[in-house]
Each structure stands twice: as C-alpha cells, then as structure tokens.
Amino acid sequence: MKRKFVTNLILLISLNLLIKPFWIFGIDRTVQNLVGDESYGFYFALFNFSMILNILLDVGITNFNNRNISRYNFLLPKHLSNIVGLKLVLAIVYAIFSLIIAGIIGYSKVQFHLLFFLIFNQFLVSFTLYLRSNITALQFFRTDSLLSVLDRSLMILICSLLLYTNILGGQFSIQWFVYAQTISYIITAVITFAIVLQKAGRFKIRFDLKFFFVFLRKSYPYALLILLMALYNRIDSVMLERLLDGTTGHEQAGIYAQAFRLLDAVSMFGALVAGLLLPIFSKMIKEREPIGDVVKLSFTLLMIPAIVIAVSSVYYDVEIMSLLYTSNTAFSADILGILMIGFVGIASTYIFGTLLTANGSMKQLNIMAFFGVLLNVGLNLILIPRMQAYGSAYASLTTQLFTGAAQLILALVIFKLKPQFSYVLRIFIFTAVVIALAELSQNFDYWVYGYMAMIAGSVLFALFIRLISIKDMLKIIFQR
C-alpha cells in the first residue's frame, strides 16, 4: 500500500504542479488584477456563497460512495444508475434553496445573474467529483490524476484566449471568467462520465425513491460533516461582504481573496493527498492491515511542506503579494501570513480527518466540526466590525488550528496510534530550525535569494535529521 500511495502521489502532484499554479497565478490572479478588487470581491463572495450550500448537491454521497465502492466493487453498476438520478434531484433542491436564501439575504439582479451560472458550475463540479470517486475507489489512480487537471487545463486555454487575444472584442469582465468555467466543467463532466460508464459496463438512469432514502440515511453523517466544514472554511468572505457596508464589503472581500487564493492553492495539494488516502485507508481498515506506517508517511510528506510554507509566508508576505498583485498589497500581505499559519491545521485535517472518515467515525468528526463553526462564526461576528479582513483572517487561523488539533487527538485515541518520541521531537526541532533559517535569510540583499536559501536549507535539514529519507522513498517506489 505504501508503494501504491507514493507512486500515485508523485504522479498526482507532478500533474497538478504543472497545471494548477499556472491557473492560480497566471489566470485567476491576472483576472483579479484586471477587473479590480471590488469586482473580484463581488464574484468571490458569491462563489463562496454557492460553495457553502453545495452540500445539498452531494449530501455526503461522494465520500460514502468512495468508501463503499472501494470495499465492494461489484456495486458500481447498480449505484451509478441510481445515484445519477439522485444527483439530478438534488441539483434542483440545491438551486431552489440557493435562490431562496439569496433572495432573503437581499442579492441584486446582477448578483442573481452571476449566481445562476455559479449554481450550475457547482452542480457540474459535484457531479464530476462523484464520478471520480468511483474511479479512485476502483484504484485507477492514474486515470483520476489526469482527470484532476482536465478542468483547469481547459480553463487555462479558454481564459488565455479571452485575456490575451481580442477574439470576442470588448473588455474582459468577471462574467466572462464565470462563463469560461462553465464550458470547462461541462466538457470535463462529459469525459469523466464516459470513463465511468466504460468501467461500469451498463447504465440506466433510475429514480428509485426507496434507494434514495436508504442511501441518504447512510450518507447523511458525511453530508453534515461537509456542510459544517464548508461553513467554517468558506463563510469568512460572505460575512465580510454582508457585515460591512456598501463597496467596503466588496473591497475587503477582494483583499481577503488575494491572500486566500494562495491558501487555497496550497490546500489543493492537501486535498489531492486526502483523495488518494481515503480509498487506501478504507481498504486497509476493512482488511485489518496496520495503518501506522502509511499515516506517518503521509503526515510527514504533507506536514513538512506545510511548516515551510507557513513560516516563509510570514517572513516574505510583503514580497510575495507585491510580486503577484497591483493594489492593496500592504493589507493582503499581513492577511497572507495569518492565513498560512492555519495551513498547518489544514494539513492535519487532510491526514487525520481522512483517516477518521475512512473508519466511519462520523459522530466524533461532526461534533468537532460543529464547534469549529461556532468558533469561526462567533469570532467573525466579533472581529469583522472591528478589524475588517484582518478579523476574518484571525478567525480562520484560530478555527483551522483548533479543528486540526482536535482531529489529530481523535485519531490518536481511536486508533491507539503511538508516535515515537524521537519522531515528534524531530518535528519540533525542524520547525524551530525553519524559523531560524527564515530569520537568517532576511540578511540577503535580494529577497528571492533569501527565500530560495531558506527553502533549500529546510529540505536539507529534513534530510539530515531523517524526517525524509531518499533511500527509503526509492525503496518503496521500486519494491515489488
């Protein structure tokens, strides 16, 4: 299992390193610089609003299906026919609820227009993720790796034509950005469905109410968890836009989006690791295989970059934001440093939250997530009126560290994991050395040299204290 995890992780990360940074920094960032913080903040708040409610599209289906099909492959044809029908019903429910709540909140006609497309986009994303859960459950990780970058690859192509040519005439608008996403998601969903259909062998869409109720009863704990986690991960910008008056709310949401984009970028790679781990953990738990080695390996591979990213973002926040953006960088730089410290908690969630999900420990996870929502919303209500975007950043940091630590403790207790004292000590020593290297790197005349020296020094020190062993990694990759 370690070999399967490492080899497929290398492919997955390699493909995403080729595509997603270009999307985030070459396209998404360029769009914000072009349309301005207020216009982008207008879109960003609506996007996060659609993200929060998209649990109604999934209700835990994807995670439950991945866990179930990875254990019982033969159920794929039956479940595919029924779940596609269920997803269509849920799409209607999601759209109705989203539009009703948008009306209650008081969104304008312009906001409703954009929200229609964002709602459709969320359905396409959710449908594709469900289809991909079948592919990973069947252990076709290479196929899924290619599909994981297909939508962004298409968006890069379409947005590049719109941004850098005059193919349509007129000035690029935030609406064009959303339309490009819609086209890309449609193509990706069609291709992914064709692949799953080939694996299933047969398909006939069904609207079986009995199946729907039985399946939803089993998946609702997963749905509740996703809803709660979406709330404490995505509600910040929505509350910023709603709690602050007029254009101030849009602008502050846009400033927050500048920093959040980078957190979202690094979190994508954590999500990829989690997506790979869920079927592996599920299969290992079902077959009663020891999980300690895979947990330690995945934690090390994700936590080391998380520590380096968090520290470097604190020390080089101004330089990074000035390089990427043209407005309000002094504000968003401070927010970047705050948010990125929270990535350590997010990394913990991707490992231990995935392990607990694979085990079916949903009651404990939902209690943890509920307190995470209370903490996040409470802090946002207190801090946003006083500190604006800074308040949201501190609320996010506190919540991510709390939930990450809670899931680590839950995993240690439930699985009776006993990490070696020497390993824990090396993690703390590594963190201290990374901070020291960041401090020393400030002496370089050119910040890029200092930044690269800090990264290189951190990697070399991780190798020196054997947190990472190239020899062991090669042994895992080439073992038969």
Give the DSSP per-residue string, 399-437.
Answer: HHHHHHHHHHHHHHHHTT----HHHHHHHHHHHHHHHHH
Cα→Cα distances 299→283, 305, 354, 431, 452, Å:
19, 10, 11, 14, 24
Decide if 86 is inside a domain: yes
Instruction: Please say if the pLDDT value at position 379 is more than 90.
Output: yes
pLDDT recorded at residue 76: 81
Percent of the chain residues topping a pLDDT of 90: 33
Which of the two residues, 166 and 297, has the higher pLDDT score? 297
Decide if 464 is inside a domain: no
pLDDT recorded at residue 328: 60
User: CB 74: neighbour CB atoms within 10 A?
Assistant: 7
Tens digit of each residue's pLDDT (9 = 90 or more) over 280-338: 888 788 888 888 888 888 888 889 999 999 999 999 988 888 887 766 667 778 899 99
Are 325 and 385 a contacting pair, CB within 8 Å?
no
User: CB 289: neighbour CB atoms within 10 A?
Assistant: 13
Which of the two residues, 348 and 235, has the higher pLDDT score? 348
The Cα–Cα gap between 430 and 436 comes to 10
Residue range 360-375: mean pLDDT, rounded: 92
The Cα–Cα gap between 413 and 111 comes to 47
Decide if 165 is inside a domain: yes
Instruction: Please say if the pLDDT value at position 249 is more than 60.
Output: yes
pLDDT recorded at residue 407: 94
Q: How confident is the model at residue 403 (pLDDT cuts 50, 70, 90)?
A: very high
For the chain, what is the domain count?
Answer: 1
Tens digit of each residue's pLDDT (9 = 90 or more) over 100-123: 998 988 888 888 999 999 999 999
Decide: helix, strand or coil at residue 471: helix
pLDDT recorded at residue 11: 73
Q: What is the DSSP letter of 206?
A: -
Least-confidence region, from 336-350, 401-415, 417-431, 456-470: 456-470
449: tokens are 């040299």
pLDDT recorded at residue 381: 93
Of 94, 407, 408, the closest CA to residue 227 belongs to 94
pLDDT averaged over every residue in the chain:
85
Decide if 129 is inside a domain: yes
Cα→Cα distances 302→5, 9, 133, 463, Å:
13, 11, 22, 15
User: What's the CA angle centered on 429, arms 424 and 435, to 5 degrees?
Assistant: 130
The Cα–Cα gap between 280 and 282 comes to 5
Cα→Cα distances 116→29, 56, 109, 235, Å:
23, 16, 11, 19
Type of residue at 393: A
pLDDT recorded at residue 436: 96
Residue range 360-385: mean pLDDT, rounded: 92
Cα→Cα distances 409→41, 365, 405, Å:
37, 11, 6
6: tokens are 């490492």
pLDDT recorded at residue 206: 81
The Cα–Cα gap between 106 and 442 comes to 48
Type of residue at 213: F
Residue range 422-434: mean pLDDT, rounded: 94
pLDDT recorded at residue 473: 60
Decide if 221 is inside a domain: yes
Instruction: Please say if the pLDDT value at position 394 is more than 90.
Output: yes
Instruction: Please say if the pLDDT value at position 438 is more than 90.
Output: yes
pLDDT recorded at residue 182: 96
Q: Which domain holds residue 263?
A: 2-419
Decide if 118 is inside a domain: yes
Decide if 330 is inside a domain: yes
Are 32 and 259 a contacting pair, CB within 8 Å?
no
Instruction: Please say if the pLDDT value at position 2 is more than 60.
Output: no
pLDDT recorded at residue 445: 86
Q: Where are the alpha helices (DSSP H) in 201-291?
A: 209-243, 246-286
Instruction: Please say if the pLDDT value at position 475 is more than 70.
Output: no
Of 274, 334, 347, the closest CA to residue 307 belongs to 347
Decide: helix, strand or coil at residue 367: helix
Residue range 82-89: mean pLDDT, rounded: 88
User: CB 93: neighbour CB atoms within 10 A?
Assistant: 12
The Cα–Cα gap between 113 and 95 comes to 13
Residue range 177-194: mean pLDDT, rounded: 94
| Torsion of the alpha carbons at 369, 370, 375 and 378, rounded to the nearest 10 | 140
Least-confidence region, from 26-40, 60-74, 163-177, 261-275: 60-74
pLDDT recorded at residue 42: 82
Of 141, 137, 154, 132, the closest CA to residue 58 belongs to 132
Instruction: Please say if the pLDDT value at position 465 is more than 80.
Output: yes
Q: How confident is the model at residue 202 (pLDDT cuts 50, 70, 90)?
A: confident
pLDDT recorded at residue 480: 46
Residue range 248-274: mean pLDDT, rounded: 82
Percent of the chain residues topping a pLDDT of 70: 95
Decide if 401 is inside a domain: yes
